[in-house]
């Protein structure tokens, strides 16, 4: 039985499953995650969020990922308190390549890097901060801590020639996970305008 995925651009692709591996029925590729619809079970158990190596994926495009997130009401679900993939990474339910961790922030390598170094920095407590445009005065400390941590991680990664910090906000900003996060990208010459 082949594995089928919906690429978010209206196309559907499939490939043969590997021998001896249990494969789900349908996979929605959604950078930087894959949503797997398992056969059977009630709807609350059917969705399982998994990390995926998406560089070779048919949908490594952030615009398509943001459209897919909007189509699946990711923003509203996150604002209602539903767990995001980042919450599951924080709880270690989903493995990641952690490069830095303290009491408030977790930094890990992006599964779909846009440069030789691409690290995601997230607050461990979302506190209603699903996106930057939702920031309030009470978020000032964690937002500052994210920035200082980004500088610390950049030094750790030896990005002394420079780096870029990116915050995607909302569908037009290509936000695909509604848990505020910074992208730390470096190790190559950046272009301007950014996109």
Walk along the chain (195 residues) in steps of 10 and give the mean pLDDT of each run: 44 44 37 38 36 40 82 82 93 97 98 96 95 96 98 98 96 94 97 86
Residue reference for tokens 């190790």: 187
Provide the sign of the torsion angle of the four alpha carbons 74, 76, 82, 87, taken in this order. Answer: positive
Catalytic residues: 181
Report the pLDDT value the prediction gives residue 154, as an integer from 0 to 100.
98
Report the pLDDT value the prediction gives residue 60, as an integer from 0 to 100.
52
Domains and CATH numbers, the chain: 2-186 (3.30.428.10)
Q: List, edge to edge, every strand of the sheet that includes 26-30.
A: 12-16, 2-6, 26-30, 33-37, 47-51
Report the pLDDT value the prediction gives residue 65, as an integer from 0 to 100.
83
Could you tell me the end-to-end alpha-carbon distance of the chain, in angstroms, rounded to an integer? 40
Rg (CA), the chain: 17
Burial 98-122 (b: 16+ CB within 10 A, else e): ebbeeeebbbbebbbbbbebbbbbb
* Alpha helix segments (H runs only) across the chain: 43-46, 62-71, 74-79, 85-90, 140-156
Quote the pTM value. 0.68
């Amino acid at each position: 039985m082949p594995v089928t995925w919906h690429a978010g651009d209206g196309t559907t692709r499939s490939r043969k499953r590997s021998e001896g591996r249990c494969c789900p029925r349908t996979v929605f590729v959604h950078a930087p995650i894959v949503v797997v619809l398992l056969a059977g079970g009630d709807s609350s158990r059917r969705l399982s969020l998994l990390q995926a190596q998406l560089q070779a994926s048919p949908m490594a495009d952030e615009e398509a990922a943001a459209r897919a997130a909007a189509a699946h009401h990711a923003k509203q679900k996150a604002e209602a308190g539903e767990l995001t993939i980042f919450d599951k990474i924080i709880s270690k339910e989903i493995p990641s390549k952690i490069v830095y961790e303290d009491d408030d922030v977790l930094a890990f390598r992006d599964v779909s890097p846009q440069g030789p170094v691409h690290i995601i920095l997230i607050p461990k407590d979302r506190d209603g901060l699903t996106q930057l445009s939702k920031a309030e005065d009470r978020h000032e400390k964690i937002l500052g801590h994210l920035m200082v941590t980004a500088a610390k991680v950049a030094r750790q990664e030896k990005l002394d020639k420079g780096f870029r910090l990116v915050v995607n906000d909302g569908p037009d900003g290509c936000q695909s996970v509604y848990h505020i996060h910074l992208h730390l990208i470096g190790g190559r010459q950046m272009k301007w305008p950014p996109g």
